Amino acid sequence: MANLYNDNRDLKFHLSHPMMQKLVMLKERNFTETGDFDYAPLDFEDAMDSYERVLEVVGEISGDIIAPNAESIDAEGPRVIDGHVIYARGTQENLDALIKAGLLGITLPRRFGGLNFPVVPYIMAADIVSRADAGFVNIWGLQDCAETLNEFASEEQKQRWLTRVVNGETMAMDLTEPDAGSDLQAVQLKATWSESKECWLLNGVKRFITNGDGDIALVLARSEEGTRDGRGLSMYVYDKRKGGVSVRRIEHKMGIIGSPTCELVFKDAPGELIGSRKLGLIKYVMALMNGARLGIAAQAVGISEAAYREALQYAKERMQFGKTIIQFPAVYEMLSVMKAKLDASRTLLYETARFVDLYKSYQHISEERKLTNEERDEMKEYQHLSDLFTPLVKGITSEYCNQNAYDAIQIHGGSGFMKDYAVERIYRDARITSIYEGTTQLQIVAAIKGVTTGGYLKQIHVYEKQELRPDLEKYRRVLISLTQDFEEAAEKVISVGDTEFTDFHARRLVEMAGYIVMSYLLVCDANRDIEYARSAQNFNKMAKGEVKARAEFIRASSLEDIGHYKY
């Protein structure tokens, strides 16, 4: 089959973004590891060449093994035997291939055996694997959890845990409980210090845990007796080799069937404290979730890609009324919208990944040496941008992948409704992306601050100042006008000064910001490569309609109206 990296020029385009130079230099600390590790890059070009080559391997495994296995995994699913998960045959085969290829611990430092890749190529690998099988990317993508250990565990803990991840052990993040879903402050699972065993013991139940039987799990537990909120929670590592956790059942799900979603019972399971007590939720889970949200965005973009390709291919082959259906305006228009959403999702994904990369690199450097004032300011700026863009990208890409999957089925007509075509699975797999790791509604809650504090507006003004080819100026003019609409709408909502009113319009406001940001990013892409001119244009037109509609809605809305919406 095709190599899913080589057959997608969009990936190479985003990998070659001008900001990569700075980002790679920081990640590689000016290429100082060359003497200690024979696989460390020698310079910027060498590093980029390495990313490309490794992504080619990801693309090859995705095309040759993961994509062909997707259908049988979806039919077979995982099982529970004696309290442990047995993956579907294809899942294990996929995992074995990726482990042999050394594709776990991609972003971890070399001293633990990692590849020390920046976030951008890692997210790109997730984008590729997700296109092949969105259910499988969950299991492989949970290596994200290791980043949290790398950030907050002690050096000695990192040595023990991270080396195991690099060697192919899978991970899980055990957060959700029956009564603590979106509201993690309500977590009940108990952690008690045992003097006799000299370790923490975990007792309780976790639910909806992806890859819950993974080898190494991060567990959020209540360590402070008598507390009820997030400040009584700490983070622990549980080692499957030690035992104490059993899988009670696996959920029967609508999609991502290959990914085992487990209900776990902890009975005196030994846990190792990570970082400081009481910071479990408020610091570590927040970091963990931010990483995971970017991962879901990559998953969503991969799904959008798969949906678009299936639809395009079908539309080019299916004959009706004597011609291929792609020749009908109703169909090609739908495909062009899918492509515009796909390109917009992807450009937002890699923009966010670059912000996260720069912020994380500075953060790790700050642990090695004192940052200069200039560096410290930059770190804060990129941290701010990461916080601003992560909920936005998670929310928008997951909604778009659902829309694209929906349209992909529509283009297939009756055939799309049958199990015979891949779009049926893609549609089911897409559905979870706007729910887990925080629903779209919760992403809006996180993102609305960026509207009310002017964060998005500030960044929009940065994009506004980009130099553009003359033929792209017309898009900037449109976007300047849309930005005014956005600013007015935000000002109006803020001036009402009512939290419920703000919450009521939050989605509209965040989406307005999202349309303007993505449209600018696509115009910048078109400025760098003429190939993106069509998506830049199509999305710009779409953005205009969507932003104007929301602006009008907000303009005509008042606090008194809200009562009409309550049933």
What residues line the site for another protein (CB under 8 A)?
Answer: 38-42, 46, 49-50, 53-54, 57, 60-61, 97, 100-103, 106, 115
Helix (H, G, I), strand (E, B) or coil at 191: strand
CA separation for the pair 534, 544 (Å, rounded): 15
Whole-number Å distance between alpha carbons of 477 and 411: 34
| Residue 177, φ and ψ in degrees, nearest 5 | -130, 170
Minimum distance from residue 16 beta carbon to another protein (Å): 19
Record the tokens describing residue 344, joined without a space.
């917009």
Nearer to another protein, 101 or 418 (CB): 101
Helix axes 89-100, 67-76, angle to 10 degrees: 140
Find, among 354, 351, 359, 353, the residue nearest to 379 by Cα.
Answer: 359
- Output 21 or 227, the one with its CB closest to another protein: 21
State the nearest-atom distance from the C-beta of 165 to another protein, in Å: 14
> Shortest approach of another protein to residue 280 CB, angstroms?
33
Provide, rounded to whole angstroms, the least separation between the CB of residue 117 and another protein. 9
CB of 418 to another protein, least distance (A): 24
- Smallest distance, Å, CB 49 to another protein? 7
Q: Which is nearer to another protein, 60 or 174 (CB)?
A: 60
**At closest approach, how far in Å is the CB of 47 from another protein?**
9
Q: Which long-range contacts (CB under 8 A, 24 or more apart) does 333-336 make?
A: 334/407, 334/410, 334/411, 335/308, 335/311, 335/411, 336/534, 336/538
Q: Of the two residues 37 and 553, which places its CB atom closer to another protein in the complex?
A: 37
Choice between 65 and 142, CB closer to another protein:
65
Query: 134 near 259, Cβ under 8 Å?
Result: no
494 three-class SS: helix
Both tokens of 138, joined, read 């969950």
**β-strand 323-324 against 245-250: which pairing, if any?**
unpaired
- The secondary structure of residue 177, as a DSSP letter, is B
Q: Per the structure block, which two tokens stand in for 176?
A: 């959700």
Residue closer to another protein (CB basis): 58 or 233: 58
Of 39 and 553, which has the nearer Cβ to another protein?
39
Tell the smallest beta-carbon distance from residue 100 to another protein (Å): 5
Q: Which is nearer to another protein, 80 or 126 (CB)?
A: 126
CB 413 within 8 A of CB 419: no
